[in-house]
């Protein structure tokens, strides 16, 4: 197997993983809609509000948002300001993106992963619970933070590799 084939299969594995998490995030939104629907029915039809629905909806929304970051990057749906780059050739645009990855993305995301691991680890170690009447454990929701930034980092590496090869060799992966 030549190097290009290995790189392509590595990138494909990253893409499939990111796509799976993106679709999972989409299903979390469906569950979120169900939770909100249940709360509205319980509260206004049966006059029996739940103690868990509001917090669960916050957890589901945060999880869907965070777990969808890598998928959003994969599909190039993040906000970008292209005032300057529109005047560059496609290969120079790819090079500019690689430089931005090196000076911004790869500097910011790894510390967020480390912070998230410490943040979630402390919650798990201390068996932290929320202060609401429902009081769910926070270990799980806080663990979504480092996981989602890791997925974003890995997808960023894949995007960087693609753009780097295009900028240097004109080869698309």
Contact 159, 105 (CB under 8 A): no
pLDDT of residue 4: 84
Q: Is 154 in contact with 18 (CB distance < 8 Å)?
A: yes
Give pLDDT tens digits for 54-85.
999 999 999 999 999 999 999 999 888 888 88
Would you state the pLDDT for residue 82? 83
* Cα-to-chain-centroid distance, residue 164: 22
106 DSSP β-pair partners: none
Helix axes 3-40 and 53-67, enclosed angle (nearest 10): 160
Q: HSE of 10 in the Cβ direction (CA atoms, 13 Å)?
A: 13
* pTM of the entire predicted model: 0.94
For the chain, how far is it from start to end, CA to CA, in angstroms? 16
């Amino acid at each position: 197997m030549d190097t290009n084939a290995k790189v392509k299969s590595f990138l494909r594995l990253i893409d499939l993983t990111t796509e799976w998490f993106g679709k999972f995030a989409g299903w979390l939104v469906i569950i979120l809609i169900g939770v909100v629907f249940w709360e509205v029915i319980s509260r206004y039809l049966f006059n029996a509000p739940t103690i868990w629905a509001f917090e669960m909806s916050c957890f589901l929304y945060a999880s869907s948002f965070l777990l969808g970051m890598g998928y959003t990057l994969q599909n190039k749906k993040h906000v970008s300001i292209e005032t300057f780059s529109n005047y560059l050739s496609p290969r120079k645009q790819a090079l500019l993106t690689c430089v931005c990855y090196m000076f911004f993305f790869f500097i910011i995301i790894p510390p967020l992963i480390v912070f998230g691991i410490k943040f979630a680890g402390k919650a798990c170690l201390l068996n932290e619970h929320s202060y609401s009447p429902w009081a769910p454990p926070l270990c799980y929701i806080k663990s979504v933070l480092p996981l989602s930034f890791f997925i974003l980092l890995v997808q960023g590496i894949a995007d960087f590799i693609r753009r780097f090869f295009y900028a240097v060799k004109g080869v698309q992966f």
